[in-house]
């Protein structure tokens, strides 16, 4: 079975990956954005906002936004950079039902925001119970390329108040909801009972997300050393209905604290692998 480009929501094209085991995933060209992952014999593991627009220019609320070349507002670019709002080219959808690859190169539009030459590639690999997303960036210019990045993953959960995220104990984080205060994580498991917005630096991993029902997903990252955990709680977020916050938690493999620096011709690859336990 091979991957196919088909019409998705609002006429935007997407690729459906189908693994022989029965696992599936969907990825929009807009943002090279994974919007669905259903492991074999499982249920949807990614959250998608009830009101996400799927319109031009808007980023998709949920799934796995690819954040490049700037995380959040931590720099001069628009929030979360521009990669999530661009149409990526499909460069490989033929190597079997479980794999797809997308590419984004600098253009007149991106150079207006960020005057650099780059080639970004997203590879998505679907397994029976796993999904690996890998972001590769190559410096195609003649000066150094410095950027931050994240795979801003929205996990679907039954009720966020019962979720436990383990693997962060003992690690320092910046609490974005408390004026970026530096805090050491002392809890064995992170739980959510209000707004959370933290950047954990240098996480050895792996993490595990127990959704409070019967599901446990591990998150293993390679060369994405930081982890962001976000839940907006009752704060209104575009694309989400008022009680959507109860059904999601973002656990994002990222490289923020120590930005990536590439000399001309160099490349970097960061990978996040999710696995249903």
Sites of contact with ligand TA6 (CB under 6 A): 59, 72, 79-80, 152, 176, 197, 228, 230, 237, 250, 252
Q: Are 122 and 66 in contact (CB under 8 A)?
A: yes
- Which of 230/245 has CB closer to ligand TA6? 230
In the complex, the smallest distance separating the C-beta of residue 199 from ligand TA6, rounded to whole angstroms, is 8
Question: What's the token pair of residue 16?
Answer: 């459906």
- Which of 24/197 has CB closer to ligand TA6? 197
* 152 noted as active-site residue: yes
* From 30, 80, 116, 152, active-site residue: 152
In the complex, the smallest distance separating the C-beta of residue 106 from ligand TA6, rounded to whole angstroms, is 22
* 33 noted as active-site residue: no
**DSSP one-letter code for 32:** T
In the complex, the smallest distance separating the C-beta of residue 150 from ligand TA6, rounded to whole angstroms, is 7
In the complex, the smallest distance separating the C-beta of residue 230 from ligand TA6, rounded to whole angstroms, is 4
- Which of 73/264 has CB closer to ligand TA6? 73
Alpha carbons 26 and 135: distance in angstroms, whole number: 17
Place of tokens 């999710």: 274
57 exposure class (CB count in 10 Å sphere: 0-12, 13-18, 19+): exposed
Question: What's the token pair of residue 101?
Answer: 């690859």
* From 125, 138, 252, 275, active-site residue: 252
Peptide bond into 69 cis (omega under 30): yes
Alpha carbons 17 and 1: distance in angstroms, whole number: 9
- Which of 28/101 has CB closer to ligand TA6? 28
Place of tokens 């979360």: 80
- Give the residue numbers annotated as catalytic, written as ranges: 152, 252
């Amino acid at each position: 079975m091979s991957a196919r480009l088909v019409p998705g929501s609002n006429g935007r094209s997407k690729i459906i990956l189908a693994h022989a085991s029965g696992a599936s995933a969907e990825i929009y060209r807009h943002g090279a954005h994974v919007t669905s992952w259903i492991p074999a014999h499982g249920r949807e593991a990614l959250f998608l906002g009830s009101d996400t627009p799927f319109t031009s220019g808007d980023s998709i609320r949920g799934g796995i936004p690819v954040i490049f070349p700037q995380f959040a507002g931590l720099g001069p670019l628009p929030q979360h950079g521009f990669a999530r709002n661009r149409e990526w080219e499909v460069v490989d959808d033929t190597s079997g039902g479980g794999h797809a690859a997308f590419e984004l190169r600098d253009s007149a539009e991106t150079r207006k925001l960020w005057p650099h030459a780059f080639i970004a590639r997203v590879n998505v690999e679907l397994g029976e119970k796993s999904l690996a997303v890998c972001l590769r960036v190559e410096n195609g210019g003649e000066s150094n390329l410095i950027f931050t990045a994240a795979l801003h993953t929205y996990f679907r959960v039954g009720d966020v108040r019962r979720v436990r995220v383990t693997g962060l104990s003992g690690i320092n984080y910046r609490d974005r909801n408390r004026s970026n205060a530096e805090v050491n994580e002392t809890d064995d498991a992170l739980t959510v009972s209000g707004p959370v917005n933290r950047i954990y630096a240098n996480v050895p991993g792996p993490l595990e997300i127990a959704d409070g029902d019967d599901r446990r997903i591990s998150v293993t990252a390679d060369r994405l050393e930081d982890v962001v955990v976000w839940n907006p709680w009752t704060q209104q977020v575009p694309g989400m209905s008022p009680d959507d916050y109860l059904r999601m938690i973002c656990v994002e493999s990222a490289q923020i604290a120590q930005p990536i620096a590439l000399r001309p011709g160099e490349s970097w690859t960061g990978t996040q692998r999710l696995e249903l336990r």
